[in-house]
Amino acid sequence: MMTSDTSTQRVDRRAFVAHLLAATPDALVVTGLGSAAYDVFAAGDRDRNYYLWGAMGGATPLGLGLALAQPQQSVVVITGDGELLMGIGSLATVAVKQPKNLTIVVLDNGHFGETGMQRSHSSQGTDLVAVAKGFGIADAWAVDSLAGSGGLARRILARSGTVFVQALIDADAPPRALPPRDGPYVKNRFRAALGLKTF
């Protein structure tokens, strides 16, 4: 565990996501748009993945609603620092509701990867872990190694409290692995995986 710092060690994003999802095969996963969706899809497409293609800033609110509606399921939001910053106020609502089955994983490369790799706030002094704690999410911490995915997976499976994790990743651009772009298909597949009516 550590705080964000531009001089720290970084973890390979694809390997981190792949290890985390392999250890939590039944988790309901909501992705932020762009690279986070590519990373989750590259780790293996599954019916319990809900890929967001638009609605920047919407991953955490969607994950919160899902966690409240499905309290017996582990819900994991995997998003980027830029996407989270767009909807940062949603962390306040997460802190108020405190669902025990919600984990928010921010893949933080310190850049807005989808708009030209401009530096984001997290590489210019904003500490996302401190922000999450300030909102009231006590179990907030950072990881900078692949080994960190193991402890995180155990927290996800335990469903013992809201968790916020900042994964410090390299600012690289792995080849894009594009998940399905058909919104109704993704929605209906996800609902079917939960045994819910599709339409």
Q: Please, what are the domains in the chain? A: 13-193 (3.40.50.970)
Q: What is the pLDDT of residue 2?
A: 37
Assign residue 22 a region (left: φ > 0; alpha: ψ between -120 and 50; beta: otherwise).
alpha
Arithmetic mean of pLDDT, 91-95: 97
Mean pLDDT of 74-94: 94
State pLDDT tens for residues 8-22.
678 899 999 999 999
Give the model's pLDDT for residue 114: 64
Mean pLDDT for 121-144 is: 86
CB 77 within 8 A of CB 32: yes
What tokens were used for 123?
Answer: 């590489």
User: In the predicted model, what is the mean pLDDT of residues 44-65?
Assistant: 94
Rounded CA Rg of the chain? 15
- Ramachandran bin of 117, using left for φ above 0, alpha for ψ from -120 to 50, beta for the remaining angles: left
Q: Which pLDDT does position 55 carry in this prediction?
A: 84
Torsion sign across C-alpha atoms 62, 64, 66, 68: negative
* Calpha distance 172→157 (Å, rounded): 30
